[in-house]
Amino acid sequence: MIIKYLCLILVAGWSVVRAFSQSDTLPEKNLDPAEIRASANRAVQGPEDTRGAAIMVARKAEIINVRLLQADLSANLSRQLFSRTPGVQHWENDGSGIQTGIAVRGLSPNRSWEFNVRQNGTDISPDVFGYPEAYYTPPAEAIDRIEMVRGASALQWGPQFGGLLNYIIRKGAADKKIEVESRQTLGAFGLFNTFTAAGGTIGKVNYYTWFHYRRADGWRDNSAYHIRTGYAALDYHLSARTTIGMCITLSGYTSQQPGGLTDAQFTDDARMSVRSRNWFSAPWNLINLSLAHVWSETSQLQVRVFGGVSERNSVGFLSAPTTPDAVLPGAESFANRQVDRDHYKSLGTEVRWLKHYRLAGAAVVSASGIRAYGCETLRNQQGTGTGASGFDLAVNGAYARALQFGTYNFALFNEQCLKPNDRLAYTFGMRLENITSTIDGRVAPNNGVLTRQAQRRQLLLFSAGMSYKPGAGGLELYANISEAFRPVTYAEITPSATTDVVDPALRDASGYTAESGIRGWIGRRLYTDGTVFLLDYRNRTGVLVQNGVNFRTNVGDSRSAGVEWYSEYNLGKWENENQLRRLQLFASLSWMNATYTSWDNPAAPLTGNRVENAPWYNHRVGLVASVNRLSLNAQVGFTGMAFSDAGNTLEPTANGQAGPIPAYHVADLSLLWKLSERCSLQSGINNLTDHRYFTRRAGGYPGPGLLPGMGRSWFFTAAFKL
């Protein structure tokens, strides 16, 4: 291990010495005008060689231009936002769009926790290791683009198996002192959504602020919600080379949880609910301070300081859907509910530095960084709540369980991109992780206070990649391999409110991702991006059904192998800036075989079983047809059958918590009418065929039981700019 650390220090030191000793000459990059125009009109683009202070060469990366998707932005539907991003599997717990749960390559979609989820380059989740669930997702109306880097992101953003998911919020207009935008949406089941933003540039200051509110009664019974989010950002240009910035996000919501269903209940009426007193809220407050400085034409520095103060609150009756809500004997009132509350505080900083230089005649790009981060979680569980029906967090007496967790992380990374010529590039990198997790408190009312315990880990991750551009036509061949790591912390062993049982002997997971692909333009009309991948996951945490209860433990090693393929074909004619006639066809396809290669329990040798929540296929196809100011968008998604547990339970359990997740399809349709450059109307129907389906079986929140996807709904949006 000492030798590995010395290697990292030597590589980082060498890059610093070489960076300051070389001339400041940026590599030239010439793009064909047709390529520039085509890329500007594409909803999903491939990566540039560098973005900010990060190297993007030789990896599977997509940049999703949200405004070009023609999606229902009011609903935050992940199947529409990621419609052109192949291989993205998503959970649809409800129609609120409050939380996004996505995954790739056979990983768990649970609140996107296999990704490093960020907003404007800094963490959204309170604890990227201890409790990495993102209970907040920015409204799609505020997002400029979504950056997704899979697998090979370990070095520059963290050791997560899934990679990076980064929501970039829009900036204020650069050429106006003020520009106001407003979007108003009405929809089925009491939906009302409003988004109002103002931004611009005054002197050296660029500002952007918005307020978002959404409410609805919900498609299912007992599924009402309301969301409020505010945001403000300032960028001050101290000079042509230096910019400082600040952005603040204040979010809060309350949602009624209809609970899960059994398979029989789902077949009888998917909109029914057997829970009327379950509620959830998550106030989420984030701050981000930044400094960007361009030392020269070949060197730039980024510094970010970020933090958050957030909560996770739930109150309700948490038994399986086969158990009726308890009523006090001889009384008309309900019994007391359970209250669980988490409070999070986090603070961190990241310093990144990008440098271009030359080595033995070859162009080299060096990306280096330091990260320091700390988070504390105060967890109060199993409190005795009131017998009321509304949202009420009052507790009678003390909580049965009161714990405090800490997670502290220090990381160093360095990656080098060597380009011997304009066609060939190699990347090499390492990341040093130092992770400490702590726990103290009590786990039961009669237990004494735990002696403070701590776990410490140090590890070094490696990756390598290669990119080759065979000609001037725009095609690129790329391949890479990167190590990954997922620590088990005290917070994961003692989860939030759930009926799952967690193995206290959970072990850390590790593995690697390898991928190879081809992307680029074939002619002027066809764009394609295809990848084959292999993900090796050791000591995987999974779910086994024991005595009718979901048991979370290390189930063994898994391997996911598959193909991700995206293609779009454009037929169009640009007459002027206001008249566009175009027909665009796209297909986002993926096939995957995710199976367990070894099993930890010799009494139940299930080697060869399929990984849970990993369908064989996940396809989305669609078209965009535009004539002058009218644009029609249609898409259909097809998802194969999957299992909800590692044991591959074929016969659904009586409580609906385990069993197969049948194949399903969902079709969406929308029409956009641009009255002018500043005013537009949009209307659409989601789940056009009103197909009944579900994507998840839950053991705890927001179930337990199977959770139906939303049925057919409509929306109408009016948008304008001033």
pLDDT for res 4? 41
pLDDT for res 519? 93
pLDDT in tens, 580-613: 678 899 999 999 999 999 887 666 678 899 999 9
Cβ distance 201 to 176 under 8 Å?
Answer: yes
pLDDT in tens, 515-563: 999 999 888 889 999 999 999 999 887 777 766 666 777 888 999 999 9
Report the percent of the chain where pLDDT is more than 70. Answer: 87
The reported pTM is 0.91
Q: Which residues of 129-161 are buried (b: 16+ CB within 10 A; e: fewer)?
A: bbbbbbbbbbbbbbbebbbbbbbbbbbbbbbbb
Average pLDDT, the chain: 87
Q: How many CA within 13 A on the CB side of residue 376?
A: 6
Domain 2-721 CATH class label: mainly beta
Is the pLDDT score of 376 beyond 80? yes
The answer to which of 80-84, 328-332, 358-362, 703-707 has the lowest mean pLDDT is 328-332
| Helix, strand or coil, per DSSP, at residue 267 | helix
pLDDT for res 332? 58
Cβ distance 74 to 191 under 8 Å?
Answer: yes
The answer to which of 49-63, 281-295, 491-505, 638-652 has the lowest mean pLDDT is 491-505
Q: Per this entry, what is the length of the chain?
A: 722
pLDDT for res 30? 37
Q: Band the pLDDT of 46: cuts 50, 70, 90.
A: confident
User: Which residue(s) pair with 426 in the sheet?
Assistant: 418, 466
DSSP per-residue codes, 549-578? EEEEEEEEEEEEEEEEEEEEEEEEEEEETT
Q: What are the boundaries of each domain within the chain? A: 2-721
pLDDT for res 473? 64
Whether cis (ω within 30° of 0) applies to the bond prior to 704 is yes
Q: Band the pLDDT of 49: cuts 50, 70, 90.
A: confident
Task: Give the pLDDT mean for 616-641.
Answer: 94
pLDDT for res 27? 37
Is the pLDDT score of 445 beyond 90? no
Q: Which residues of 447-482 are buried (b: 16+ CB within 10 A; e: fewer)?
A: eeeeeeeeeeeebbbbbebbbebeeeebebbbbbbb
Is the pLDDT score of 44 beyond 70? yes
pLDDT for res 15? 39
Task: Give the pLDDT mean for 284-307.
Answer: 95
Measured CA to CA, the distance from residue 658 to residue 679 in angstroms comes to: 48
Q: Band the pLDDT of 450: cuts 50, 70, 90.
A: low
Report the percent of the chain where pLDDT is more than 90. Answer: 64
Cβ distance 641 to 648 under 8 Å?
Answer: no
pLDDT for res 324? 86
Return the higher-pLDDT residue of 318 and 609: 609
